[in-house]
Amino acid sequence: MRELKVLASICFWGCAFMVVQPMRGQMVSEWLTSSEDMARDAWQQAHSKITPQNVRNFRLLWKVKVLSKPMGMLSFREPLIVTGVKTPDGQRTLAILAGAANDVFAIDTGTGKVVWQTKLKWASEKPQEPGEGSGFICTNALSATPVISPIDSPVRRLYVLTSDGYLRILDLASGTEADPPIQMLPLPYGKPYGLSLVNNVVYTVTGQGCGGVPNGLYAVDLNSRKVTASSPPQAGLWGTAGPAAGSDGTIYFESGDGPYDAALGKLSTSVEAFTYSTGSLTLKDYYSPTNHVWLTRRDLDMNVTPVVFPYQGRDFIVASGKEGRYFLLDSKSLGGSDHMTPIFRTDLLSNKNVNFQTEGTWGSLASWSGKDGTRWVLGPMGGDAAVQFPISYETRGEGWQGGTGSSLALARHDYCRTPGDCQRRCICPRRRRVYGTVE
């Protein structure tokens, strides 16, 4: 038996992540995909009941034991929260947890009761392998966080990509499969990451070549059930939250180290943007750091899920990787005419030891807008910081400002007009540099 402790987890997710759904304008407590939404900003935008003053009063509400076998380093994926599910006990808010061994659990967030659980059966014609794979990287596990259809959908479903490579479509009230499974990956035991659902198309990216599955962007059109994969295969795509999506449906992801030949579409150590239309995935744009050859040689992958946010009527993207820098990209042109010129490139903020295993930026990012309009980006850093915080940059238009710890902020320079303003924000400028402006 594996013990699942949901005290702060369920209380936190169930109470804090209240977002305003734009289609209906209503406030609901939901978390439907990895990092909350398809932009991967992990931002709950509505009022939160959790404050610095009351967070210390968190207490254990309940816990529940469920049967779920860990596979290698994986156990449960990120919990999802969905409201208004009709159960035998009435409408309930459910926490959905997918286990590494293709188990899915729905738990009533109010009581801790397991409403339903299901073991998704093997669907591939290829035989199921015993054990947990060949090592800690490829563990034969369910590795992609599921996704739930939005609140304005005619019928809401839970989409789960199991380790056999098949996309499952589950009824939220019962956990039964509402439609036949769709083979999303060409082979079992790939290593896909968090699912995205954009315009009724489910996306994922795969990394590290596990199971012989080519690394790439995969799409399932739920209307036609057609499966499409990007081509050619890429280096490892392994941002843990999966691909991010812009407001226009453009899909963004980062690629790890590998062969680089832009003319052939092989774009290692880069940020890539794809569009989907009528069963085709098309490379829209890309950004490659000027030192991408050196980064690849040192195994300093671009290995996180980028975050997307709106500014002045279009999307901007922040990306990072194991090198320890952050890049601000304009969706209008990710890297300029040479594909290597971002809007802004920070100094080295971490990984001064050039450590490809434990330092730099890993996982995924988060972003939110403060009450004064300052755009903040939060990124995880391994190892010691390479700069002394606080630090600030000013530009003609935008600038990066480092807060305490590992926080970063994107802000217009007019927020720091005087030293007094900066002191109040704890981000006094140490030096001034001029970079590009947004056109």
- Delimit the domains of the chain by residue range: 1-119
The pLDDT, as a whole number, for residue 52 is 81
Q: How far apart are CA 149 and CA 141, in angstroms?
A: 23
* Identity of the residue numbered 315: D
Structure tokens at 197: 């659902």
The pLDDT, as a whole number, for residue 46 is 64
Q: How far apart are CA 97 and CA 77, in angstroms?
A: 6
Q: What is the pLDDT along the chain (439 residues), one digit of tens a residue?
A: 333 333 323 333 333 333 333 333 445 779 999 999 999 999 987 667 788 888 888 888 889 988 888 888 888 999 999 999 998 889 999 999 999 999 999 999 999 999 999 999 999 999 999 877 767 889 999 999 999 999 999 999 999 999 999 999 999 999 999 999 999 999 999 999 999 999 999 999 999 899 999 999 999 999 999 999 999 999 889 899 999 999 999 999 999 999 999 999 999 999 999 999 989 999 999 999 999 999 999 999 999 999 999 988 899 999 999 999 999 999 999 999 999 999 999 999 999 999 999 999 999 999 998 888 888 999 988 988 888 776 665 543 344 444 333 334 543 332 232 333 322 222 222 332 323 333 3
Structure tokens at 329: 């990209």
Compute how many other C-beta atoms are within 10 angstroms of the C-beta atom of residue 191: 27
Q: How far apart are CA 60 and CA 347, in angstroms?
A: 43
The pLDDT, as a whole number, for residue 423 is 28
The pLDDT, as a whole number, for residue 410 is 46
The helix (run of H) or strand (run of E) holding residue 399 is strand 398-402
The pLDDT, as a whole number, for residue 397 is 39
The single residue listed with the structure tokens 């057609």 is: 226
The pLDDT, as a whole number, for residue 135 is 73
Q: How far apart are CA 364 and CA 349, in angstroms?
A: 16
Q: How far apart are CA 194 and CA 204, in angstroms?
A: 6
CB 386 within 8 A of CB 352: yes
SS3 label, residue 294: helix
Q: How far apart are CA 263 and CA 339, in angstroms?
A: 12
CB 108 within 8 A of CB 115: yes
Residues 6 or more apart in contact with residue 125 via CB below 8 angstroms: none
- The whole-model pTM stands at 0.85
Residues 6 or more apart in contact with residue 243 via CB below 8 angstroms: 193, 194, 196, 203, 204, 205, 217, 237, 251, 252, 253, 305
Structure tokens at 290: 């000027």
Residues 6 or more apart in contact with residue 420 via CB below 8 angstroms: none
SS3 label, residue 171: strand
* Exposure b/e, 1-23, CB count within 10 A at least 16 = b: eeebebeebbbbbbebbbbeeee
Q: How far apart are CA 151 and CA 103, in angstroms?
A: 24
| Apex 399 CA angle, 396 and 400, nearest 5 | 165
Dump the DSSP string for 49-103: S--TTTGGG-----EEEE----BTTB-B---EEEEEEEETTEEEEEEEEEBTTSE
